[in-house]
Structure 1
Amino acid sequence: MSDTFSLNRRSFLLSSAMTSAFVAAGLPFSASADEQKQVIASIFGGDYADLMRKIVDDRVMVPEGYEVLQDISTTEARQTKLRTEKMRRQSSFDVAVLADLDMYPMSQIGVLETLDETSIPRLSKIIPALRKSYSAPQLYSYIAILYNPEKITTPPTSYADLWNPAYKGKVGISDVLYTATSAVAALVGGGSMTDFTPGQAKLLELKNEQQAQILPTNESIATAFKSEDIWITLNYVARGYAWQKAGLNIASAVPVEGSIPIAFELCVPKNAPHKDAAFAYINAALEPESQTGFSEAIGYLPSVTDAKLDPELQARIGLSEADQAKLRPMDNAYLMENQSAIFDFWNREFKG
């Protein structure tokens, strides 16, 4: 961790505690000019935090005079803070990252600032299918068809290829991806992102006729690929990229139906204490070099149209402009209303 922008742990905790005490008490907390050049980012830890520090904080924000404080937390902790701090004068952070499915409920309770190109010019470069008013997609991946090219020598072209009888008993399904798999089954069964019901029959076909192996985690999918217990699955292309780097013989294919994306998005609470700094932070995260830095490290794709990947990496994980135009985002409103029913069918009928 670079000393040029981070406080030591004791100082950070003291500073955060003092700020939180003022906020919780509803007392005014006036920031000095120097403090206005500070941004508190509530983000994931591990590789994500290290990459943000390297390619956003150190590369852009610190040279521009900002101090970035990373508030490492879980998705649940961030959502809880957004809910509970809604009525306070100031929130405890300026910008937060959440997956798109987790961000949408936050937008519905009215805690997120509307983002526009006046405050964040780089929003103009976002892939249209990923654009939202309440958050900015920092990076994304998509549900690809992952397969063993030694066992499946003709590359798949459609999500429907998982129902190919030639792969009976060799299809792997990750239990944790039940929403995405239900969405794929809906597309194959004639449904849509606003109607998963036609996909239920396809899921039962996958279970009963294809004898798909339902495995508990993504890690168990990787193990099954390694042992050749499975030859084909659905998963995010970024995960396939990581497995390739780990030595697994896995190829990926883009489905003709249009890929289902998952985006990790940045938001600003309406009561963020350093709102202008938060906008600058998001703008920095959307710069081409910030975007490609994540792609090269962890296989997530740029959310902006002017970030160009190395040709070899583009061939492994990228989408053409035509495929970007065919992205099929899940409908967050539909999922929010029907998530319990989708989960219930998955557990009782598909897995049961």
Structure 2
Amino acid sequence: MPNLTRRSFLAAAAAMSATSIFPRNLMAQTNDVVVGTWGGTFGDLLAVNVDEAFMQPAGYNILQEISGPVPRRTKLISERMQRRGSMDAALLADFDMYAAAKVGAVEKLDASSVPNYDNILPFLKKAHSVPLIYSAHAIVYRKDLITTPPQSIAELWNPKYKGKIGLSDFLYTSNMAYASVHNGGTLSDFEGSEKGVAAWRDLDAKLLPSTEAVGQALASGDIWMTIISAARGYSWSKSGIDLGWVVPEEGAFPAVYEAAVPKNARNPEGGMAYMNALLDPAVQKAFAEKMGYLPTVKNGEISPELEEKIGFSEAEQNRLWQPDFDFILENQAKLLDTWNRALKG
């Protein structure tokens, strides 16, 4: 048996005593809050403005579980029958969160569990989630190459922009909504969407694999116009690209990102605390200034100068579409098949 000094013996005894009172896994996990989220700039903003500013001082240890939205939604839904899930807070786009709520995978929220809940803007308030940020999938364009702002969605099919229209493969639902409205359809039937998508193919529209690829194509001039969140247009313009954005006269598809607490969260109290922190005015302001997304709470004030750049007028707010999530959820596979067949051949 190796020799122990008195100091090392006492240290070992103390460690054994602590372990016997507090099991090792309980000590490590008691205050952990696992957050399923995006990485990159988004994750960095959460780490600084939520984790470090609010959660850590309250005694919580935040563990970001970074993944794409599809596997995160799949995990949230598939784990709902387990006694304990792997996330305490999940961040998703509104449609993906709706799908999770539809099958009972997330907790109900209100002011008793999330004190800042009552500050949520009325048109964004839901019982199953809190809205973190919002914008709209608008028409974003190169102002130096298109000098007259495209007021109608018809400009997305204007032959003079042949080869200069870019479409994010990731945003096929929003793109097909535009195609439907342009061809006399609605958000509850998507009639005419296949015709519109096929017309994009005839115009040599460029299909881009990611949001980042859209930004790069705009920066290089490879494309002049796209459907993407106005917030992205703002953030890219800060890097020196001469971009403008328009909520066209026919309307635009909203872009809302939400957060919820899984029903089987290991640390539901921590998850609720995270929901509340996301709605703090300081957090909302940080996302507005850095990424161009609008605050979702009534007390989320931003400067008049920033409001002028990223805000929506009352008329523009009234033109934002109200997606039929039940229809989209029931027809998602069909919509994706139509998108692939009509655009990719």
Normalised to the residue count of structure 2, the TM-score between the two structures is 0.82
**Alpha-carbon deviation of 1:121?**
3.2
Runs of 4 or more, structure 1, over 6 Å off, are: none
Q: Aligned ranges for residues 257-268 of structure 1 at < 5 Å?
A: 257-268=250-261
What secondary structure does 1:150 align onto?
coil
Larger Rg: 2
Correspondence for 1:214: 207
SS in 2 for 1:155: coil
Match of 2:291 among 289, 298, 301: 298
Q: 1:189 to 1:272 in 2, by over 3 A?
A: same
Q: Are residue 247 (structure 1) and residue 240 (structure 2) matched?
A: yes
Q: Which among 103, 108, 121 is matched to residue 114 of structure 1?
A: 108
Q: CA RMSD in A?
A: 2.8
1:18 aligned residue (15, 21, 25) = 25
Trace 1:171-210 onto structure 2 (pairs within 5 A). 171-208=165-202, 210=203
Amino acid at match of 2:245: S
Question: Secondary structure of 1:302's partner?
Answer: coil
Aligned to 2:223: 230
Number of matched pairs: 323
Alignment of 1:308-323 (within 5 A): 308-323=301-316
Q: Percent identity?
A: 41
Match of 1:347, SS state, is helix
Question: Hey, what does 1:151 align to over in structure 2?
Answer: 145
Contact 1:262 1:329 in 2 (8 A): no
Deviation at 1:163, TM superposition (A): 2.4
Say whether the 8 Å CA contact 2:32–2:63 is kept in structure 1.
no
1:41 and 2:35 matched: yes
Amino acid at match of 1:144: A
TM-aligned CA deviation for residue 273 of structure 1? 3.4
Is this contact kept in 2: 1:252–1:316, CA < 8 A? Answer: no
1-side partners of 2:154 and 2:254: how far apart? 17
In 2, Cα distance between the equivalents of 1:85 and 1:71? 18
* Contact 1:127-1:324 at 8 Å conserved across structures: no
What does the per-residue CA deviation read over 1:169-188, in whole Å, with 9 as the maximum and x for residues that have no partner?
43222333221110111122
Shift in CA distance, 304/188, structure 1 to aligned 2, threshold 3 Å: farther
Q: Distance in 1 between matches of 2:78 and 2:204?
A: 46
1:61 maps to which of 55, 66, 81 = 55
SS of residue matched to 1:54:
helix
Aligned with residue 274 of structure 1, among 256, 267, 270: 267
| Distance in structure 2 (CA, Å) of the matches to 1:295 and 1:172 | 25
Name the structure 2 match of 1:98: 92
CA contact (8 A) 1:129 1:327 kept: no
**Residue 244 of structure 1, CA deviation:** 1.4
Of the structure 1 ranges 170-179 and 80-89, higher mean CA displacement relative to structure 2 is found in: 80-89
Matches of 1:248 and 1:39 in 2, distance apart? 38
C-alpha separation in 1, matches of 2:51 and 2:79: 26
The answer to whether structure 1 residue 351 and structure 2 residue 344 are counterparts is yes
- The aligned residue for residue 128 of structure 2 is 134
Consecutive unaligned residues of structure 1, counting only runs of 5 or more, are 1-14, 20-30
Tell me the TM-score normalized by structure 1.
0.81
Q: Which residue of 1 aligns with 2:155?
A: 161
